[in-house]
Amino acid sequence: MVFAMPSESENIEDKRELKASLKPRHILMISIGGTIGAGFFLGIAEPLKSIGALSTILAYGFAGLVLLGTMMCLSELSTAFPHSGSFQYFAYRLFKTPSLSFMIGWLYWLSWVFSIGASLIAAGLITNEFFPSIDVWVWCAFFLLVLILINAMSAGAFGECEYWLAALKVFAIIFFIFCGIILIGMRIRSTGTLPTLATENGYFPQGGLSAIGCMTVVIYSFQGVELIGNVAGETKNPEKVIPGVIRGIGARILIFYISAVAILAFISPNGHFTSAAGPFVDVFNQLGIPSAETFMKIVILSASLSGANSGIYASSRMFWAMANTGMAPKYFGVVSKHHVPLRAICLCGFFSLVCVLSKHINAYRLFVFLISSTAQVGCLAWMVIGACQLRYRNLVHRGVMKSNSKIWLSPLYPWTGIFVIAVNAFIIISGWWGEDGIEMFLAEMILVAVIYLCYRFFYKSKNIRFDI
């Protein structure tokens, strides 16, 4: 099988263009939905328990700064190159080393496929609690089929579905913050004392540098926001819409996370929560809100389906873009009569069937494995975004590439891009020194080697033109 660059005539004949059908409200919720997943509602208390309240807040705050820096870089690139291939396409256009674009594209695509499987398993586990007679893997397959059909209809159908799924998550977070403030106020009135972030062992029970140890987990909870780069090619007036959404989305997500973490920290600095449905339920139960657990299960189900829906969209657009640059079989570079990459969508759905392995493997263990396998690829993606922004600005300053004066430019050049690259590189390397770090390192190296060999044997770089 040879991955060849399609000719201009083939592009026209196969109808390889996507249609701009996403609205600004879709873009906003797509970006939020891609970031706030089931792990946010279920796992947010774990760092509180392991490293203490203050260290957790500092970790989330620092990760938020990395997020904001990444979004600034992505905003500039997405307005300069509004393409559904996002940073894979940016790397292809800006660096005359096709191997970089090839490897990041395939790595990121695989991470999203695994993420789809993980989200579907989470949805299956939740639904199985409502209908225990139906196996988890059956629910996984059912949800996958439904989401594939929605994505096959149109980009607008995907956007509308994601809008309402993400809206439920946002409502739940805002409602939780409101309830948390009320609960803290009630405790102050009843005890006459202000809440504290100190534990029995002080503010930093695991030491002042304990926040560094959980950075891999914390920054992973922010990953997925780069999905907004994939929607630029299907957005009307992306040069106007995308920068505004990106500048606002980083701050919104940071506020959501920090506020939720801070409230949980003040309520229980040790991270001791009793409900298996997550710490949010504890807060609702303490206020006497009826059916709190059922409500949160529905929210978590919505978050899981939103994550899978976003994953199908992101992975299919990434694969479509790679097919149209010769980095994947050109068969997947066409679009349907509804202007969606249907073949790429079906391919991503097929590989996402890894979720049905929950029939033979413990569903929760499979979920954890799939999530862990995507964490460091997300950091690598953010590094590529920072590197591409530095490269783009450098080419503009040298006069190699023309710049549109209307294009929004990220501030603090070149320090923003350097900061994003350095921090994510540190997080990746530090992960190799943690638990199962050696196994993670070896697995990543083997995967990179396999992808590089595929590039060497199948990819025809001589067919590539760099029109800068």
Q: What is the pLDDT of residues 353-393, one digit of tens each?
A: 766 665 556 655 555 555 655 667 778 888 888 999 999 88
Closest CA relative to residue 35, chosen from 233, 265, 238, 250: 250
In a domain, 390, yes or no: yes
Query: Is residue 121 scored above 70 in pLDDT?
Result: yes
Q: What are the structure tokens assigned to 283, written together?
A: 């807060």
> What is the pTM (predicted TM-score) of this model?
0.77
Least confident of 7-21, 206-220, 320-334, 399-413: 7-21
- pLDDT, one tens digit per residue, over 227-249 is 766 676 677 776 667 667 766 67
Classify 209 in phi/psi space as left (phi over 0), alpha (psi -120 to 50) or beta.
alpha
CA 328 – CA 212 distance, rounded (Å): 38
Q: What is the pLDDT of residue 329?
A: 84
User: How many domains does the chain divide into?
Assistant: 1
Reported confidence tier of residue 147, pLDDT bands at 50, 70, 90: very high
Tokens of 27: 């873009």
- Res. 195: pLDDT tops 70: no
Q: What pLDDT score was predicted for residue 145?
A: 92
pLDDT at 204 over 80: no
Conformation bin of residue 339: beta by default, left when phi > 0, alpha when psi is -120 to 50: left
DSSP 339: S
* Residue 201 or residue 448, greater confidence: 448
Q: What's the chain's average pLDDT?
A: 76
ω before 414 within 30° of 0 (cis)? yes
Residue 339 inside a domain? The answer is yes
- Residue 463 above 60 pLDDT? no
Q: Is residue 1 part of a domain?
A: no
Domain of residue 39: give its range: 8-462
Q: What percent of the chain is helix, strand and coil (3-state, nearest 5)?
A: 75, 0, 25
For residue 418, is pLDDT > 90?
A: yes
Higher-pLDDT residue of 414 and 98 is 414
Q: 257: which residues sit within 8 A by CB, 6+ positions away?
A: 40, 60, 64, 221, 222
The predicted structure's pLDDT at residue 421 = 92
Residue 180 has pLDDT above 80, yes or no: yes
> Which residues, at least 6 apart from 119, have a Cβ–Cβ distance to it below 8 Å?
37, 38, 304, 305, 306, 307, 308, 311
Candidate ranges 27-31, 227-231, 338-342, 407-411; pick with highest mean pLDDT: 338-342
Task: List the single range of 46-55, 67-76, 343-352 with lowest mean pLDDT.
Answer: 46-55
Band of residue 50 on the pLDDT scale cut at 50, 70, 90: confident
Residue 3 in domain: no
Is residue 2 a part of any domain in this protein? no
- Token pair, residue 184, equals 């803290």
Give the pLDDT score at 465. Answer: 44
In a domain, 110, yes or no: yes
More confident residue, 23 or 419: 419
The separation between the first and the last C-alpha atoms of the chain, rounded to the nearest angstrom, is 29
pLDDT at residue 1 greater than cutoff 50: no
CB burial string 249-267: b at 16+ within 10 A, e below: bbeebbebbebbbbbbbbb
pLDDT of residue 143: 92
Can you read off the two tokens belonging to residue 18? Answer: 């996507």
Spell out a b/e string for 123-148, using b for 16 or more CB atoms within 10 Å of the CB, else e.
bbbbbbeeeeeebbbbbbbebbeebb
Classify residue 291 as left (phi > 0), alpha (psi -120 to 50) or beta. left
pLDDT band at 9 (very low <50, low <70, confident <90, very high): very low
And the tokens for 14?
């196969």
Is residue 264, in this structure, part of any structural domain at all?
yes
Question: Token pair 């922010």 is at which residue?
Answer: 222
Percent of the chain with pLDDT over 70: 70
Q: Which of 157-161, 192-196, 264-268, 427-431 has the lowest mean pLDDT?
A: 192-196
State mean pLDDT over 77-104. Answer: 78
CATH number at residue 121: 1.20.1740.10
- What's the CA gap between 382 and 20, in Å, rounded? 25
- 85 closest CA partner among 289, 294, 314: 314
Specify the pLDDT at position 61: 82
Residue 467 lies in a domain: no
| Assigned token pair, 308 | 């899978």
